[in-house]
Every structure is written in structure tokens, then in C-alpha cells.
Amino acid sequence: MSPVIVARQLGKWYGDIVGINGVELEMEGGIVGLLGPNGAGKSTLLKLITGQLRPTRGTIRVLDEVPWGNSKIFEKVGYVPENDLVYAHLSGFQFLHLMAQMYGYSGGEARQRAERALEEVGMSSHQNKSIASYSKGMRQRIKVARAILHDPKLLILDEPFTGMDPVGRKHLMDFFRRFVQQGERHILFSSHILHEVEALTHSFVLIHKGKIRAVGEVDEIRSLMNRFPHRIYLQTASFRELGSRLVFWEEVRGVEIVAEKRAIVVLAQNPSRFYQRLPSLIVELGIEVEEIFSEDDNLEAVFRYLVKK
Amino acid sequence: MMSRIIFQLRALLVFELLRLVKRRQFFLTLLLLLLPTGVGVLAFLIEREDIERGVVYAFSENYIHELDENKLTIRLRRALEREGLSLSDEVEVEVVEKGERFVPSSPEFLGKFSLQYIKDLERGVLPEAILQVLRKRLGRPFLGKGKERIFLSYGRKEGWFFFLGMFKFKLIKQGDGISLYREKVNLYQDPFANDGRVWRLRDLQRGWQMRFKRQHDSLHWISPQISGYFFQQGVFVGIGKFLFLQLLLPLLCLLYATSMFRDEWEEGTLVYLLTVPFSRFWIVVGKYIGVILLLTPLFFASLLLLFLTLGVLVGGVFLSADFSLFFEFAKSLVFGVFAYTAFFMLFGLFLKRSTVAGIFYILLIELGLGSALVALQKLTISYHIANLIQREHLPLHSRKLLKEVLYEGGGNSLTLLVGVVVVGLVVSAVYLRCKEWEVERGA
């Protein structure tokens, strides 16, 4: 089976500003998360994939077709844009019914498809309410419903979980899993939140500053991340005592004292092992740790590692 | 395939119409389209007294010239006979208002009166106004046949009525003659006092001077009904040209056409239209038709409201007489909506400040060139829209009215306007096909 998406040396420049550059990508199928911080180039890549932007250089093929200027590609691709849905004067059903007709379905079939899509995203009970009255999460679900009206082979979603409540998020995630289980269906979605992507898939594409930094399974990326020291922040009244002990640990590369905050920042080579040993030490010293967190839990830090790599 | 495109187009049209009617500019549009009727009512209120007194409203050259006078004479004679009068009678009549005496000389002269009298006479009714005049005959002959001296005076070059192409005249006896002059005379001239030369009229419009030469031996005098009728027709033509064809038509088309894509892009809804399996050419066509479907009925309704309101205000006597004039204007408006919308759609796609640029274009080119530089008139869309009004099937006086205020070019205006529409659609479609809307939004 040929890859769903193939990009070769794909680049997009906005004048002097790089959107993405030298992107090499082969998406085989299933659910793939496009992970990257804000401004990484996720939306640019998704817009290139959906033919809304023309590549400045390189090539891209989606389901064996060139997407730029090719409206027919949307017969096989469903797209959920990042833009909010502002057809405030329509109800959810009216919007989807008209959209189904825009996909070329006759009145009766369009109605059936609209109803089915509403059911899939759990919005049937709200279908006759005005879109203006919907919460952000409900509008997100209507956007997804619009993208699946025509049973696409590939679903492209730009930040689909933004503003969603936990119930709605779970509902959508369950739907996405069902969607790909139907066979020959694929999803590429973008997010800047690590756990959001992890909750849905193990396949990542990591993008940062317009370049693909890593592609693979979540375990590969985690081990990759473990090769680089994490910065762990510990706040305690006995910060000097704690620091003096930690500095002798094998997995600790350095300790920085932040006296004004009565804290230390530990540079841990193997964070997993560090977290294993730390509770015992705290008990042994009989100290109270007020706060502990890893600065590296945020995605930006992960990408800093990968860029350095 | 075609049925699929029809479904898609229909859905796009519904989207477009629902979007447009929910916008604030739609309510502004409704208000603007009530404006012509408001102006018409205002004009009526200002002129009401004069209309009821039978003051002549003449908007163009003499509507008597092309009458078959023999035919009219015979009919007039019959009508007069029913009133116990004969054509050989010489009458002197008195104008009721202001106590001034008004003498239309002879019944033969009466026979040259308004075309509209024919309609009354054909119905066997002698216009009440004439009867009033004839019944007041004083028995003293006024002037012999062919010796009428009519002094024409004029005044008030300024004023909005002037710009509406509407001239209001009064017939007043002066000395041993009859003067036809415009109300509120502030400049009186007697061209015949200078060996019949008309050089003093040079500062008037050329057309008026020529009319003057041709009709100096004619006299208008009409009934209140006829006066109202001419008021209706004149105001309709004036407002039709200046408020509809030259102002509201380009302005409203500009507002809707320039925002066709720009607003949707700014609101973020354009992406929902561009990411369906529907060619961008049809998206252009669909959105274009959406604006046409919205504006055309609105313009039609506004024009009809003006026409009927004026008709009702002046008594409704001739309400149905000249619907052909209404339909000619309506037709022009429809073609105008098609052409201007296609034209300004290009503004919206190519220019950042398209609405401002469009307003400048309307003021400088459509109104500026169209009014000032005769040689360049043909470069304006309004010229060709006005040209579409077919005059030959209209009643005589309507033709003359139109000649007064509208260009009369003929030629290939329809072809040119269709060309504007085709070029507008094709260029817009090609541009939309190549445009990366999302580049402007950024990554």
C-alpha cells in the first residue's frame, strides 16, 4: 500500500519567513499526531497537505494526488480547520445539511448524512440549536461532523481538541478510533499538547521551527528524550541540604541553587531513575518538599532537546 | 455531474443569501432603497399645490410636435360640440389662480395641447380643466390665428430640480401676450425683443436652447391630472437616472461585490467553502449569483415602490399608462446589477481597500467622466446601462423625458456589459484558483 501522504523536501516561505523547510514525510496510515509548539509550522504543513497553500519548493502528494489547486481531493479528504465556526445564524443541522449538499449530495441523502454525522460526534440532541449558542467544544464537534459528511479516507484535523470539555474530548477520541477501525481510513491531527496526542495515538511526527525533528512511535521518542538531561525544580526550606546530597548522585549532572526562592534546579541525566530514588532521600533527610516539577514536561523543552540533537 | 453541480450551487446560494441578509449592510441596503420613494414623496409635497393648479411640468421638448393634429382637431371638435362650442369660436380665458388672465387664443390652438388630451378625448371626455377655461370665455377675441406671441422666460438655474432635469413652467398672461416661464423667475428675458435672436440664452444648456427655437410658437397648458402625470413621469425619470442608475446601483453593487470574498476570509468561513470538492470557478459563479439574487429583487421592489407611490400621490389616473417606462428602467437596473457586481468583484479580489477605491471610482469615473467629459462617457458602465433603455416603444413624452436626462448612444452596450460580466467572472475564477488565501492569515 502506498503511503497516504508523501512529502519530499517540502518548503513554504512567507516572503522572508520560513513556514516549513525541507520536510521529508511519509505517512503510512492509521492515526498520526503532528506535534509541535505554537508557530512550529503545523498549520502550514496541514494547509499544504489540503492544497490551501502552494509549496514554495519540494513536492507533496496526498492519496496519490497533488493537492494544490485540486478541489477533487476533498472527495477523499475531510478537513477540520483551526478557524472557529461562525455561521452563527444557522443551526448545527442546517449547516451540515447545506454542507452535505456542497459535497454534492441531493436533499434526502444530504439530510441523512447530516443526521449521521451529528450522531457520530454526539451532537444530535443539539442539532436544532443555533450555532451561536454552542460552546467552543460543541462548535469543534460540528466542524468534525462537517469533515466526515462524505466518508473521507483521510481526515486532517488542525488542533481538534482546542476548547473541548473532557466529555466531548473523550467522545471525539472514541469516534476517531472507530473511524480508523473501519479500515482504509486515516487521521492526521495536529496538537501542541503532548498528552493529548498520546491519548489517541502512539505515532508522532514532531515538528519544530518548520522542520520535522522526529518521526516514530511514542516509545522511541521517550527514549530519545531520556538521552538528554531534564531540569527538575525542587522547592524546600532545606534546599542546600538536599542539593548537597543530590550532587553526588550518578544520574545528576549538576545542581543549581535558586536561593531567593529557596529552591534548587537539578539537571538529571536519567529522569526516570532520578524520580525513583528521590522519595527515599526525602524520607531519609526528613525534609518537606513544597513543590516539585520538571521544566521539561512542557513540549517546548522536548523540542529544545531535539533541536540540540 | 451537472445535477451534482446544481446541488452544490444551490447550497452555496442558500449559504450566501443567509449570510448576506444577516449582515448589517443588508439593513442599510433596505434603508437606502427606501430613499428614492422618500425623495419622490418630498418632491410631491413641495410641488403639490402647483400640480393641483395645473402648472405645467415640462421635462423635455415639446410633446406636441409629433401629434397628428388633424386627428386631434377632429376629436377635439367633437368634444367641443358636445359642450356647445365650436372650433371657430375664439375664446378668452382666465387663469383662476392669482386672478391673472390666461388666453390660449383659439380652439385651434387648443388643439395643439398635450398629447395626453388625446387619451381623454378618445374616452369622450373633455378634460375638466379645459372645460373650466372654456366656460369662462369672456367673448373677446385675443389674438388672431398664427399671431401668437409667446414670451419665454426662465430662471433659477440652480436648485436640485434643475439637476434632476426637471423644469417647471407657468403660463401667465403678460401684456397682450402669454408668457411661459419658470416659477420664481429671477431672470427674465424676452428673446423676441432683440430681433428674434436667442443669444441671451447661450448660457443655458444647449439642448434647451434648441428646444426653445423649435417650440417658441407652441404653448403648453394642461390639466391638474396631466400636470400630475408629467410630475410622476418626470420625477420617476429623474430619480431613476440619478438615484438609481448613477448612485444606488453602483454603490450597493460595490458594497456587496467587494465584500463577497473578503468578509468570508476575515470571518474565517471561506475555508469551509474552499475545502469541499467544488471547483473555484463555480464558487465564484455561485457567490456572484447570490448577490444578483439579493440585489435584483430589492432594486425592482424599490423602483416599483417609487413608481406606484408617485402614481398614487398624483391621483392614480395614469398609473397603468406607462409601465413600459418602469420596465425599461427595471431592465436596465437588472443588467446594471450583473455588470457592476462582476466589475466590483474584481476590486474586492485585487485591492486591499476595495470599497474606498470603488467609491472613488464611482465618483471620479462613473459620475465624473460620465457627467463632465462627453468623449469619455463611453468608458463608464453607467453610460451603457442607460443605453439599454429602449425608447422607441415608449410613449412620446417618455422618450423626450429620457432624451433629456439619459445618454442616447445605441451601439453595442448590451454586448459590452455582457463582456464585463464574462471578464469579471473568468478573471475572478482564475484569480481565486491561484490565490493562496491562507498566506495572508499566516502559518
pLDDT digits (tens, 9 = 90+) for B303-322: 999 988 888 887 654 554 56
Q: Which residues in chain A have Cβ-Cβ distances shorter than 8 Å to B10?
A: 101
Global pTM reads: 0.70
pLDDT over threshold 60, residue B213: no
Q: Which residues in chain B have Cβ-Cβ distances shorter than 8 Å to A54?
A: 436
Q: Which residues in chain B have Cβ-Cβ distances shorter than 8 Å to A74?
A: 275-277
A177 and A278 within one domain: no
A31 and A116 within one domain: yes
- For B139, which DSSP code? S
Q: Residue A135: which pLDDT band, with cuts at 50, 70 and 90?
A: confident
A267 and A280 within one domain: yes
A173 and A61 within one domain: yes
- For B191, which DSSP code? G
**How far is residue A193's CA from residue A169's CA, in Å, rounded to a whole number?**
13
Number of A/B CB contacts below 8 angstroms equals 92
Q: Which residues in chain A have Cβ-Cβ distances shorter than 8 Å to B276?
A: 71, 74, 99, 102-103
Q: What is the pLDDT of residue B406?
A: 65
A236 and A157 within one domain: no
**How far is residue A71's CA from residue A50's CA, in Å, rounded to a whole number?**
9
Chain-centre distance for alpha carbon B189: 30
- For B92, which DSSP code? -
Average pLDDT over residues B15-40: 91
A240 and A211 within one domain: no
Determine the distance in angstroms separating the CA of B5 from the nearest CA of chain A, rounded to an integer. Answer: 7
Asked if A74's CB is within 8 angstroms of B275's CB, the reply is yes
Q: Residue B34: which pLDDT band, with cuts at 50, 70 and 90?
A: very high
Q: Residue A44: which pLDDT band, with cuts at 50, 70 and 90?
A: very high
A186 and A153 within one domain: yes
**Domain tally, chain A:** 2
Q: Is the dihedral of CA B113, B119, B123, B125 positive or negative?
A: negative
Convert the pLDDT of each residue in B38-47 to its tens digit.
Answer: 999 998 888 7
pLDDT over threshold 90, residue A156: yes
Q: What is the pLDDT of residue B191?
A: 30
Q: What is the pLDDT of residue B57?
A: 42
Q: What is the pLDDT of residue B121?
A: 43
A298/B268: higher pLDDT: B268
Number of H helices, E strands in chain B: 19, 6
pLDDT over threshold 70, residue A231: yes
User: Smallest Cα–Cα separation from B221: which of B144, B301, B107, B318?
Assistant: B107
| Percent above pLDDT 90 for chain A | 39
Comparing CB atoms, the residue among B268, B272, B443 nearest residue A43 is B443
Suggest the residue from A71, A82, A84 to mutate for an interface test with chain B (most B CBs closer than 10 A). Answer: A71
Asked if B7's CB is within 8 angstroms of A81's CB, the reply is no
pLDDT over threshold 70, residue B153: no
3-state secondary structure B211-266: HHHHHCCCCCCCCHHHHHHHHHHHHHHHHHHHHHHHHHHHHHHHHHHHHHHHHHHH
Comparing CB atoms, the residue among B22, B269, B277 nearest residue A74 is B277
Average pLDDT over residues B363-380: 75
Asked if A104's CB is within 8 angstroms of B7's CB, the reply is yes
Given a contact cutoff of 8 angstroms between Cβ atoms, the answer to whether A58 and A11 are in contact is yes
Report the b/e string of B167-205 with b at 16+ CB within 10 A: bbbbbbbbeebbbbbbeeeeeebebeeeeeebeebeeee
Q: Residue B352: which pLDDT band, with cuts at 50, 70 and 90?
A: confident
Q: Which residues in chain B have Cβ-Cβ distances shorter than 8 Å to A90?
A: 18
Q: Which residues in chain A have Cβ-Cβ distances shorter than 8 Å to B5?
A: 104
Grid coordinates representing A68? Answer: 494544490
Q: Which residues in chain A have Cβ-Cβ distances shorter than 8 Å to B437?
A: 52
Q: What is the pLDDT of residue B179?
A: 37
Q: How many CB atoms lie within 10 A of CB B50?
A: 18
Determine the distance in angstroms separating the CA of A157 from the nearest CA of chain B, rounded to an integer. Answer: 12
A293/A22: higher pLDDT: A22
Asked if A79's CB is within 8 angstroms of B7's CB, the reply is no
Asked if A44's CB is within 8 angstroms of B278's CB, the reply is no
Q: What is the pLDDT of residue A306?
A: 65
| Percent above pLDDT 70 for chain B | 49
SS3 B127: coil
- Among A191, A223, A255, the domain boundary falls at A223
Q: How many residues does chain B have?
A: 443
Amino acid at residue number B282: W
Given a contact cutoff of 8 angstroms between Cβ atoms, the answer to whether B118 and B66 are in contact is no
Q: Residue B276: which pLDDT band, with cuts at 50, 70 and 90?
A: very high
B367/B196: higher pLDDT: B367
A99 and A162 within one domain: yes
Given a contact cutoff of 8 angstroms between Cβ atoms, the answer to whether B437 and B270 are in contact is yes
Convert the pLDDT of each residue in B129-142 to its tens digit.
Answer: 444 444 443 222 22
Comparing CB atoms, the residue among A20, A47, A71 nearest residue B277 is A71
Domain of residue A155: give its range: 5-223
Cβ of residue A280 closer than 8 Å to a chain B Cβ: no
Asked if B436's CB is within 8 angstroms of A52's CB, the reply is yes
SS3 B151: strand
- Among A202, A223, A244, the domain boundary falls at A223
pLDDT over threshold 50, residue B203: no
Q: How far is CA B372 from CA B58, B159, B203, B363, B365, in A?
A: 24, 19, 17, 12, 10
Grid coordinates representing B379? Answer: 468608458
- Among A192, A223, A254, the domain boundary falls at A223
Comparing CB atoms, the residue among A54, A81, A101 nearest residue B7 is A101
Pairing relation of β-strands A203-208 and A211-217?
Answer: antiparallel
Convert the pLDDT of each residue in B401-411 to its tens digit.
Answer: 666 666 665 56
A282/A306: higher pLDDT: A282
Q: Which residues in chain B have Cβ-Cβ distances shorter than 8 Å to A192?
A: none
3-state secondary structure chain A: CCCCEEEEEEEEEECCEEEEEEEEEEECCCEEEEECCCCCCHHHHHHHHCCCCCCCEEEEEECCECCCCCHHHHHCEEEECCCCCCCCCCEHHHHHHHHHHHCCCCHHHHHHHHHHHHHHCCCHHHCCCEHHHCCHHHHHHHHHHHHCCCCCCEEEEECCCCCCCHHHHHHHHHHHHHHHHCCCCEEEEEECCHHHHHCCCCEEEEEECCEEEEEEEHHHHHHHHHCCCEEEEEEECCHHHHHHHHCCCCCEEEEEEEHHHCEEEEEECCHHHHHHHHHHHHHHHCCCEEEEEEHHHCHHHHHHHHHHC
A300 and A164 within one domain: no
Determine the distance in angstroms separating the CA of B18 from the nearest CA of chain A, rounded to an integer. Answer: 8
Q: What is the pLDDT of residue B371?
A: 63
The yes/no answer to whether this complex scores an ipTM above 0.90 is no
A residues 68..127 contacting B (CB < 8 A): 69, 71-75, 79, 81, 83-87, 89-90, 98-99, 101-107, 110
Asked if B443's CB is within 8 angstroms of A102's CB, the reply is no
Q: What is the pLDDT of residue B93?
A: 31
Q: Residue B376: which pLDDT band, with cuts at 50, 70 and 90?
A: confident
Chain B CA closest to residue A15:
B439
Chain A CA closest to residue B18:
A89
* Alpha helices per DSSP H over B351-388: 354-361, 370-372, 381-387
Asked if B274's CB is within 8 angstroms of A81's CB, the reply is no
Asked if B271's CB is within 8 angstroms of A81's CB, the reply is yes
Domain at A260, CATH number: 3.30.70.100
Q: How many CB atoms lie within 10 A of CB B3?
A: 9
B372/B250: higher pLDDT: B250
Determine the distance in angstroms separating the CA of B296 from the nearest CA of chain A, rounded to an integer. Answer: 23
A268 and A162 within one domain: no
Q: What is the pLDDT of residue B263?
A: 85
A136 and A36 within one domain: yes
A211 and A255 within one domain: no
Grid coordinates representing A131? Answer: 450555532
- Secondary structure element (H or E) that encloses residue B97, with its range: none
Q: How many CB atoms lie within 10 A of CB A32?
A: 24
Comparing CB atoms, the residue among A20, A50, A87 nearest residue B275 is A50
Asked if B4's CB is within 8 angstroms of A104's CB, the reply is yes
Q: How many residues does chain A have?
A: 309
DSSP lists the bridge partners of residue A304 as: none
Q: What is the pLDDT of residue B53?
A: 53
Q: Which residues of B touch A (CB under 8 A)?
A: 3-5, 7-8, 10-12, 14-15, 18-19, 22, 267-269, 271-280, 433-434, 436-439, 442-443
> CA torsion B189→B191→B193→B196, rounded to 10°?
180
pLDDT over threshold 90, residue B357: yes
Asked if B271's CB is within 8 angstroms of A71's CB, the reply is no
Cβ of residue A52 closer than 8 Å to a chain B Cβ: yes
Comparing CB atoms, the residue among A86, A101, A106 nearest residue B269 is A86
Domain at A105, CATH number: 3.40.50.300
A151/B68: higher pLDDT: A151
Q: What is the pLDDT of residue A172?
A: 87
Asked if A104's CB is within 8 angstroms of B277's CB, the reply is yes
B337/A183: higher pLDDT: B337
User: Mean pLDDT score of chain B, rounded to an integer?
Assistant: 64
**How far is residue A264's CA from residue A240's CA, in Å, rounded to a whole number?**
8
Given a contact cutoff of 8 angstroms between Cβ atoms, the answer to whether B47 and B168 are in contact is yes
Cβ of residue A14 closer than 8 Å to a chain B Cβ: yes
Q: What is the pLDDT of residue B393?
A: 63
Chain-centre distance for alpha carbon A238: 39
**How far is residue B275's CA from residue A79's CA, in Å, rounded to a whole number?**
7
| Percent above pLDDT 70 for chain A | 91
**How far is residue B331's CA from residue A138's CA, in Å, rounded to a whole number?**
47
Q: Residue B87: which pLDDT band, with cuts at 50, 70 and 90?
A: very low
Q: Which residues in chain A have Cβ-Cβ distances shorter than 8 Å to B272?
A: 81, 85, 87, 99, 146
DSSP lists the bridge partners of residue B13 as: none
Q: Which residues in chain B have Cβ-Cβ distances shorter than 8 Å to A53?
A: 436, 438-439
Suggest the residue from B271, B272, B282, B430 to mutate for an interface test with chain A (most A CBs closer than 10 A). Answer: B272
Suggest the residue from B275, B281, B439, B440 to mutate for an interface test with chain A (most A CBs closer than 10 A). Answer: B275
pLDDT over threshold 60, residue B111: no
